[in-house]
């Protein structure tokens, strides 16, 4: 299993990133278009479970096995740094856009 994960780490990372963004859009949609706190919370949980946690785990596993800071681990570190700095601003912009876009169309939380 470990060999499969390490052999396909780039593909797995790409799929996790796609899932994380999809769950982020779902979270915003649930909050502003559907006006659903439970669906918003599910979206938030999915974002953490598909984004931060597995990416950090992949980076740690790769670093332990490779015993060096290679390109893959460096990319993971960059993604985490981006998410915790500039990414927060982008998510805020997305949230503001969704609030303007959907506030007339349905209830808000």
- 73-104 pLDDT, tens digit per residue, is 999 999 889 888 888 888 889 889 888 888 76
Assess if residue 26 is contained within a domain.
Answer: yes
Indicate whether 108 belongs to any domain: no
**Tens of pLDDT along 53-81?**
999 999 999 999 999 999 999 999 998 89
Structural domain boundaries, residue 77: 2-102
Report the alpha-carbon distance of residue 104 to residue 68 in Å, rounded: 52
Instruction: Give the angle subtended at the CA of 58 by the CAs of 54 and 62, to the nearest 5°.
Output: 170
Rounded Cα distance between 54 and 90, Å, is 21
Number of domains in the chain: 1
| CA–CA distance, 45 with 59 (Å, rounded to integer) | 21
Structural tokens at position 100 = 């303007």
> What's this model's pTM, rounded to 2 decimal places?
0.77
In-domain check, residue 67? yes
The answer to whether the CB of 77 falls within 8 A of the CB of 8 is: no
């Amino acid at each position: 299993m470990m060999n499969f994960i390490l052999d396909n780490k780039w593909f797995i990372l790409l799929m996790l990133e796609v899932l994380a963004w999809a769950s982020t859009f779902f979270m915003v949609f649930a909050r502003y278009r559907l006006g659903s706190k439970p669906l918003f919370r599910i979206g938030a949980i999915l974002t953490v479970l598909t984004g931060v946690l597995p990416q950090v785990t992949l980076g740690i596993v790769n670093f332990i096995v490779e015993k060096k800071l290679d390109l893959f681990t460096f990319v993971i570190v960059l993604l985490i740094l981006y998410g915790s700095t500039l990414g927060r601003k982008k998510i805020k912009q997305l949230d503001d856009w969704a609030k303007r876009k959907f506030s007339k169309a349905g209830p808000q939380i």
